[in-house]
Every structure is written in C-alpha cells, then in structure tokens.
Structure 1
Amino acid sequence: MKHPIRERPEKRWKIQGITPDFRLYGVWDLPTPGGPDDFPRLVRLFAAGDTGDNPSRIARLLFAIRWKLGALLHWDGADDGVGRRVPTLRDRLPADLLAAPSGPAFARLPFTPVYLLGDEFAAEMANRTVHGVLHLRWVEGGTGSHHGQMAVLVKPNGPLGRTYMAAITPFRHLLVYPPLLRGIGQEWRDGAGQA
C-alpha cells in the first residue's frame, strides 16, 4: 500500500534531518510481516536485489530500456555518481549516525549504503538525472507485529532531472512498483535474506 507523499506523524526518522532538500516521492508498506528483530533480514533482501529480478516482464523491460538509455546518453558515468557529481550524504550525518555502521554493500544495484540502525536504513545513488535515496524502515503494525516500509527521496539534477522524474512517474507507479512489492513479499515468504 502506498502512503500519501508526506511523512507519517508517528515517528520522525533520521533521514528527514539529513535530506531537507530532497523530495519524498512515496512511502510504501512492504508485505514483510515479522517480529521486532527482523529488520536486518529486510536490509539483506534489498542489498541482494536486482532490477532483473522484478517479477513483471514489463518492469524488467522498462529497467533494461532505462539502463540502455543511460549508457547511450551517458547518464550513469562514474563522474556522475555519489562522491563525484554530488557529495555523499555521509558528509551530512551527525556524530551518532557517523558512528553507526553504514550497512551492507549492494550486490547489483547502484546504491551506496549511508547508515544502518536497528529500525532504519538509508542508501543513496546518483547519476546525471538525480540524487536518490532508498530508505527502509521497520514499523510496528499496532498489534505487536512489524513490517517494512520503503520510502524514495529524490533531488532532481536541474531541468533534465525534473523532466526525467516527471516522465517516469506513471511507469513507476503503474508498472514497476506493484510487481516489485509483490516480488518482495514472495521473496520474504520464501525466506530470502535469512542468515
């Protein structure tokens, strides 16, 4: 389930304090029911992910087209990434987050971990179009059960980034995220990310 484009009031997440210049593009409840200590499993599941694993053929095709366009238009070069075109968000972290582990490296996705806490994880990516943040959190469902949430925060890079985000929004919300969320739920039920 997607939440409105605003933070939910029940908790202030650390990511909010370090990304005031980013726009929140959405928050999704993940079909990952679990106990209070299952958050590391969710983080491992995401870190091992791959756009080629999306259960939707259409979503896989859209990702393949995006990676091809990025290569042709030179959107994803090394000079356009975190630490090159944009400074890493780790440069913004307060002392308590700097002392925390950054989290696991991503095997195949272009994300760099920023910080990992017991119920919150942030990873960033940058290219010529945007500087983006994948934010995972572990929330209580009200009955003692817990589940993950995924938030996407984006800082577009000028007119190109704003145009790019406007162009992909309908595809993301209609064709990419619904099967992605179903796939995450299936992987969770199948035991992916368990130590």
Structure 2
Amino acid sequence: MWALPTPGGPDDFPRLVNGAMASLDPSQGSSLAARTLWAIRWKVGELLGWDGPDAGHGSERPTIRDRLPADLRDAPSGPDALHVTSVYLTDDEWAAEIVNRTVHGIMHMGWVPDGTGGYRGQMAVLVKPNGLLGTGYMAAIRPLRHLIVYPPILRQMGRDWRTDAGAARNGLKANTTIRAASPEGGSAHHADV
C-alpha cells in the first residue's frame, strides 16, 4: 500500500482517478529503465499470448465484479487505464483489475483523510499469481517492481498532480487524457481535455 503524493481537498478524488491514474502510462514515463521493462513485458506478453481476451486462468476471464456486493457491482465503473479494466468507482474508491496468464491483479485507490485536515490518495495493488507461470513470473519481477517500476510511477504521479494543481490555480486547463469505458463495455474512448 502506498500513500500517494496527491494532497487535496475532500472533493479531489475524481481528479486523481481521471487525471493522475487515467493519464499515467508507465511505458511513457520519465524513467528509461521502467519504460524499457514495460516495453519488454508487453512485447513478451504479446509474443506468448499472455494478455489476449482468452488469457485468463481457465476457460473464462474471471472478474472480481461478480463477487462484489450489489451496491459496488451496480456502481459506475470509471476509467479503464494502464492495461486494466475498471471494476467500480465511488466518491472515494476506485478499483480496477487485470487478468492475464500470469496474474489476476486488483489495483485499489482510495481518497483518505491525511491527519492534517486534508486528503490524499492511497493505492494498493493486490496480486494473485495464476499457476506456476504466474508464481515464477511474480517472484522474478518482484525486485524490479519495487526498485525500478513503482518509484518512478509514484514520482511521476506527484509531478503530474502538482502540475495539474498549478494549472487549476492559474485558471488554465490541465492537459489530461481521460479514458472511459464505452457504455457497451467495449474498448476505451480517449479524449484530450
């Protein structure tokens, strides 16, 4: 779990989800090492068929949505981003999942009081390896995730948050990409705002 560098007020959670998370693409981030690792991962996944629509563990792609209580299952889904599919979005929580041959992962973001009268984002990534391939894969990439991948993602998120906040204070429109799932549940739509 990470405390995100995104200080704000009680109503800033949509900005976090639609701005910082939906526009963040680690393969385009500032860290050459992280960009390289992401490029390698997606290329290997493409070549070995790890990420296609039938790439879940078993015959169907599982989803956590089926196990949610009705209020969350019926909530709006929010944006799809980062090779993940949004599961639900509330006023202060967003969950998205990725299912492939290696893992079934859930990314959960929350908007929590920071103890000083403000709020900040909080993120957890929960991963269940799929079989021996997933267990071996997750063990192999663990040091890379914690040393090379996550730190630049969090730094970029903080920079983007400060840039968007500065633009808003100066009456400028922040340059953000919002990705929202289509009403039919198909591919994501992209719009620059």
Q: In which range does the TM-score fall when normalised by the shorter chain? A: 0.7 to 0.9
**Which structure would you say has the larger Rg?**
2
Choose from 37, 46, 51 the match for 2:11.
37
- CA deviation digits over 1:9-48, x for unaligned, max 9? xxxxxxxxxxxxxxxxxx0111000001100111112123
Partner letter of residue 70 of structure 2? A
C-alpha RMSD of matched pairs (Å): 2.0
Choose from 121, 131, 141 the match for 1:148.
121
1:123-162 map, 5 Å = 123-162=96-135
Q: Which moved more, 1:146-155 or 1:93-102?
A: 93-102
1:17-36 map, 5 Å = 27-36=1-10
Equivalent residue number for residue 184 of structure 1:
157
Shift of 1:83: 10
- CA deviation digits over 1:66-106, x for unaligned, max 9? 11111122211221159964322111111111232111233
- Asked whether the equivalents of residues 82 and 124 of structure 1 are also in contact (C-alpha less than 8 Å), the reply is no
Runs of 4+ in 1 over 4 A off after TM superposition: 81-84, 192-195
Partner letter of residue 69 of structure 1? V
SS of equivalent residue, structure 1 residue 103: coil
SS of equivalent residue, structure 2 residue 143: helix
1:87 equivalenced with 2:62 (yes/no)? yes
Size of the alignment, in residue pairs?
167
- Asked whether the equivalents of residues 35 and 145 of structure 1 are also in contact (C-alpha less than 8 Å), the reply is yes
Gapped runs of 5+ residues in structure 1? Answer: 1-26
1:170 equivalenced with 2:146 (yes/no)? no
TM-score normalised by the chain length of structure 1:
0.80
Shift of 1:49: 2.3
CA distance in 2, matches of 1:137, 1:42: 10
TM-score normalised by the chain length of structure 2:
0.81
- Asked whether the equivalents of residues 50 and 102 of structure 2 are also in contact (C-alpha less than 8 Å), the reply is yes
CA 125–82 in structure 1, closer or farther in 2 if over 3 Å, else same: farther
- CA deviation digits over 1:97-133, x for unaligned, max 9? 1232111233xx2111111111111001111000111
Equivalent residue number for residue 73 of structure 2:
98
Q: Percent identity?
A: 62
- Asked whether the equivalents of residues 82 and 88 of structure 1 are also in contact (C-alpha less than 8 Å), the reply is no
Gapped runs of 5+ residues in structure 2? Answer: 165-173, 179-192
- Asked whether the equivalents of residues 82 and 125 of structure 1 are also in contact (C-alpha less than 8 Å), the reply is no
- Asked whether the equivalents of residues 104 and 130 of structure 2 are also in contact (C-alpha less than 8 Å), the reply is yes
